[in-house]
A and B are shown apart, each in its own frame.
Chain A
């Protein structure tokens, strides 16, 4: 009897990951603060690089084969420094989708960081994102360029949270101001979209003027590649396509300016 008990306990323990507790159980399986870990590597490698080359991908949710091909296509290049995912890693915010997406993105030979998209909020998805990736608003500086990543998914909070977070933006206007002279703003849902708090879209635009040397804004969400000046002024917004449409954008930042190139795979 005792032998069987030990045997069954061993069997039980060995197939621990075969037992699914719940799609929204927030069991991150040791994946913590992935953005912080990536940023540590990125800041270490590219803090003072002359030319930065960043790949922007977005909305990979559900299209795992396309995402795999995207990762492969990016891996074939030698010029990409790191990858920014503009949100919507998952379709329904379940824990398995987060793991599936990370399993694929972990195949990238360069580090990646990911913003939160509206689909990633579903169920306990926002909590999973917080544990796996970290803060929803964050910023980092490379080669005197500040990258500000903003959570703009206001509809997910029923407009009752500070989204977009103006306090955070204000802090970022001046934090480490001696270390940067240009800014790139990255978000998931652009102003005027169904997720943005459109009551403050014009106030939001005014705030953007306080970012030193704002170069452009990059967003995902709309599932198309689109370049436009949303506010009909000189500020360009680059919409990054979804994985299903099989293209990404490469941003090349030089000391004199930047280029944004759409690449199909």
Chain B
């Protein structure tokens, strides 16, 4: 139900953008006044919502493969927000499942190398993944006694990860759809696995972490 509301709001927002875009043609030719400044400011604000990145990555407890859009902001774009859509193959279960991930990255340093290459030695991520399906619940359903499975949700997984990336600034003449391209890897774990490790330290660290490799296009 809440997801429906979310999607409807997104649709309305997109429609609003189109309406405003039509208006802009008439506004541009008029002389500057307070209204025009307001319109400009409004456009600048809405511009921030335009996705600036395209990301594709595998694994990471959010499906076999995920792809989505992203925004970078803050000082030198050291903060990133990704919205990813992935799928879990059927394997031996009853069906394939879709997942949605909201991911926040913090990339504090960038070291410039030769010929447009640069390295980001650390990226720290925290991300919330949700899997779509009737098997999963947000919090324990009413059929259970109080505090039965209170510690968890089967639908939402909180993950943390650390990684590195290498970026290539595409030379101006060669640019077509993106201005830079980054290859990254990430080592991550999810709340349930970390919990297992806390309950019993004998769970090997290598068993609770997983690798993920991805590609990021800076499209705008």
Inside 8 A of B148's CB, which chain A residues have their CB?
A: 194
Q: Which residues of B contact A194 (CB under 8 A)?
A: 144-145, 148
A62-B91 in contact (CB<8A) = no
A18 near B61 with CB under 8 A, answer: no
Which residue of B is nearest A26, CB measured?
Answer: B93
Contact of A21 with B61 in the complex, beta carbons under 8 Å: yes
Question: Which residue, of B64, B91, B199, has the highest number of chain A Cβ atoms within 10 A?
Answer: B91
Q: Say whether B88 faces chain A, with CB atoms less than 8 Å apart.
A: yes
CB–CB B61/A20 < 8 A? yes
- Count of chain B residues near A, Cβ 8 A: 44
Contact yes or no, A22 B62, CB < 8 A: yes
Which of A18, A65, A127, A159 is close to B93, meaning CB atoms less than 8 Å apart? A127
Residue of A nearest to B60 (CB): A20
Residues of chain B lying within 8 A (CB to CB) of residue A100: 196, 203, 207
Mask: chain B, 88-107; 1 = CB below 8 Å from A; 0 = not: 11011110010100000000
Interface code B176-220, partner A: CB below 8 Å = 1, 0 otherwise?
Answer: 000000000000001011011001111100011011110000000
How many whole Å from B101's CB to the nearest CB in chain A? 11
Do most interface residues of chain A lie in helix, strand or loop, or is the interface mixed?
Answer: loop
Residue B44 CB within 8 A of the other chain = no
Q: Looking at the assembled complex, report how far the CB atom of A246 sits from the nearest CB atom of chain B, in whole angstroms.
A: 14
Q: CA–CA, A123 to B94, complex, Å?
A: 12
Given contacts A26-B93, A62-B200, A64-B202, contact A122 B211 (CB under 8 A): no
The one of A18, A25, A122 in contact with B149, judged by C-beta atoms closer than 8 angstroms, is A122
Which residues of B have CB within 8 Å of A63?
Answer: 199-200
Interface positions of A from 191 to 228, Cβ below 8 Å from B: 194
Chain B residue numbers with a CB within 8 Å of A93 are 154
Smallest CB–CB gap between B18 and chain A, Å? 36
- Give Cα A159 to B141, complex, Å: 13
Looking at B58, B61, B152, B213, which has the most chain A CB atoms within 10 Å of its CB? B61
Contacts of B62 in A (CB 8 A): 22
Please give, as numbers and ranges, the residues of chain B lying within 8 Å of A24 by CB-CB distance. 88, 97, 131, 135-136, 154
Taking CB atoms, residues of chain A closer than 8 Å to B202 are 64-65, 68
Task: Say which residue of B91, B190, B200 sits within 8 Å of A26 (CB atoms).
Answer: B91
Interface flag for A92 (CB, 8 Å):
yes
Q: Tell me, rounded to whole Å, the shortest Cβ–Cβ distance linking B156 to chain A.
A: 11
Residue among B135, B136, B207 with most chain A CB within 10 A:
B135
User: Is B59 a contact partner of A62 (Cβ separation < 8 A)?
Assistant: no
Pull 24 A–B residue pairs with CB atoms less than 8 Å apart, ordered by A.
A18-B210, A19-B211, A19-B212, A20-B59, A21-B64, A22-B131, A25-B88, A25-B89, A25-B91, A26-B92, A62-B200, A63-B199, A64-B202, A65-B201, A68-B202, A91-B196, A92-B154, A96-B196, A100-B196, A122-B154, A127-B92, A155-B144, A159-B143, A194-B144
Residues on A facing B (Cβ under 8 Å):
12, 15, 18-28, 62-65, 68, 91-94, 96-97, 100, 122-124, 127-128, 131, 155, 158-159, 194
Beyond A27-B92, A158-B141, 16 extra complex contacts between A and B, CB < 8 Å: A18-B211, A19-B210, A21-B59, A21-B61, A22-B61, A22-B99, A23-B61, A63-B199, A64-B202, A64-B203, A91-B196, A93-B154, A96-B208, A123-B135, A155-B143, A158-B143
Task: Report B's interface with A, CB cutoff 8 A.
Answer: 58-64, 88-89, 91-94, 97, 99, 129, 131, 135-136, 141, 143-145, 148-149, 152, 154, 157, 190, 192-193, 195-196, 199-203, 207-208, 210-213
